[in-house]
Amino acid sequence: SQTIHQWPATLVQPVGSPLSLECTVEGTSNPNLYWYRQAAGRGLQLLFYSVGIGQISSEVPQNLSASRPQDRQFILSSKKLLLSDSGFYLCAWSVVGETQYFGPGTRLLVL
Amino acid sequence: AQSVTQLGSHVSVSEGALVLLRCNYSSSVPPYLFWYVQYPNQGLQLLLKYTSAATLVKGINGFEAEFKKSETSFHLTKPSAHMSDAAEYFCAVKGAQKLVFGQGTRLTINP
């Protein structure tokens, strides 16, 4: 069966520091991969999605970037964190853009 | 382009009462529709999905939703609310390579 992992589960970082969040999927090949953010009290905001290795689509211009170095690995990065980057980050996968399956999330607090 | 609107950002019902969460969609093609649930500090979990088969879709935890093309609606219902149903619920429609989510409805259950 398929599983999706995200780490770390929780992260506290100072403003201006770099960020790297990792997401990996097991049990499927060539999935679509997605990064979402939920700010406190807000809905889901799609940040990036990828349909294959090295293919990244950005939904919202911002301080973040994404990479997909391997088929089942999706990384969210920032060179310098802002206070507004705080939130709950969710990774998801799907096959052919249909049902998405979500990871457990990473809680990021920027101080 | 596809979109969804969830009517009511907060819904409160008594334990044992009917749960009704409203979702209206807009789609230029026959839609695929989804309901997800999110418990605090967790990822989203698929409740049910409509993919052009039966218009009444049964999901997990006693939830069901009815696709009504004439009303462009896909409302989520449960006959009798349990305390464990307290969560955030998201409606979504399939777009190109991604899902388009509504803003979410927070369901509170009163004892």
pLDDT digits (tens, 9 = 90+) for B49-63: 998 878 999 999 999
The Cα-based distances of B74 to A77, B20, B102 in angstroms read 36, 11, 12
pLDDT for A42: 74
Q: Does B103 touch chain A (CB under 8 A)?
A: yes
**CA gap A45, A30 in Å, rounded:** 23
Chain segment B14-24, per-residue pLDDT in tens:
999 999 999 99
A98–B98 CB contact, under 8 Å: no
Helix (H) or strand (E) holding A54: none
A102 in contact with B, Cβ within 8 Å = yes
Question: What is the average pLDDT value for chain B, to the nearest integer?
Answer: 94
- Give B98's contacts in chain A (Cβ within 8 Å): 32, 34, 46, 49, 97
All residues of chain B having their beta carbon less than 8 Å from the beta carbon of residue A49 are: 97-98
Residue B68 in this model has a pLDDT that exceeds 90: yes
Pairing relation of β-strands A10-13 and A106-110?
A: parallel
- B103 CB neighbours in chain A (<8 A) are 43
Taking contacts as CB-CB distances below 8 angstroms, the residues of chain A near B42 are 104-105
CB contact A88 to B (< 8 Å): yes
Question: Which tokens hold the place of A63?
Answer: 């301080």
Cβ of A104 within 8 Å of Cβ of B45? The answer is no
Query: Chain-wide mean pLDDT for chain A?
Result: 93
Q: Which residue of A has its CA nearest to B34?
A: A99
Give the tens place of pLDDT for each residue, A53-80: 999 999 887 889 999 999 999 999 999 9
Each residue's pLDDT tens digit, B77-109: 999 999 999 999 999 998 887 889 999 999 999
Cβ-Cβ contacts under 8 Å between A and B: the total is 51
Q: Which residues contact A5 (CB under 8 A, 6 or more apart)?
A: A23, A24, A25, A26, A103, A104
Of the candidates A97, A102, A107, which has its C-beta nearest B97's C-beta? A97
Nearest-neighbour CA in chain A from B40: distance (Å): 11
pLDDT category of residue A97 using cuts at 50, 70 and 90: low
